[in-house]
Amino acid sequence: MPQINKTLPPSVTRLIDALSQLPGIGPKSASRLAYYLLRAPAEESVALADALRDLKARTRLCSVCQNITESNPCEVCVDSARDHGMICVVEEPLDVTAVERSRGYTGLYHVLHGVISPMNGVGPDDLKLRELLARVSAGAAEGHPVREIILATNPTLEGENTASYIQRKLTGSGVRITRLARGLPVGGDLEYADEVTLSRALEGRQAM
């Protein structure tokens, strides 16, 4: 348990503890953020609290692509102008935003919400893989088959293993399986790739 600082009011200590639970935020950064909010106008703190409340109350996962959305299905999945025969598989919702910035992709998405990582106790059943396989099966059964699956997991060991697992599961399905070209740096995250690199990676995707 964290040591209680008796020189601080309990409300401040609770806020610092809560902020320090966020990724990349240590105790010192959490303290600076807490004191910033203390000095900020009341409406700024209230706006932050309202945004956090709305985040949990209004967002959900799209029942089709598993991306974060406020409407179900999401705006991308219901967009008739997009290519519904192509699905780009990514690890996290922020990766969808990254690919969209490239302006070089007009298909649909599927968000796994992680990667297979036995070291961290994450297996295939912990990801949105069943939903992806179900989309492929449903498309074939309903007469609008998926033509291509683009595996856009990050070029890390876990990302590569996850991509290989998906490829094996879709073998024999008749769907073309491609991987983003190696314009992306090995060990890097899709989220931080620039628009040109992502666009070229999409254009140069390769069959697996």
Q: What tens digit of pLDDT does each residue of 136-167 get?
A: 999 878 888 999 999 999 988 899 999 999 99
Q: What pTM was estimated for this model as a whole?
A: 0.79
Q: Would 99 be classed as within a structural domain?
A: yes
pLDDT in the model for residue 156: 86
> Domain containing 38 — which CATH number?
1.10.8.420
44-95: per-residue pLDDT in tens? 999 999 999 999 999 999 999 999 999 999 999 999 999 999 999 999 999 9
- Kindly state whether residues 73 and 169 are assigned to the same domain: yes
Whole-angstrom Cα distance, residue 109 to residue 67? 8
- For 128, the domain range is 68-207
| Residue 183 confidence (pLDDT) | 64
Looking at the fold, whether 141 and 199 belong to one and the same domain comes out as yes
Are 197 and 101 found together in one domain?
yes
Give the pLDDT confidence score for residue 5 in this predicted structure. Answer: 59
Examine the domain organization and report whether 36 and 139 are in the same domain: no
Residue type, 65: C
Report d(CA 136, CA 198) in Å as an integer: 25
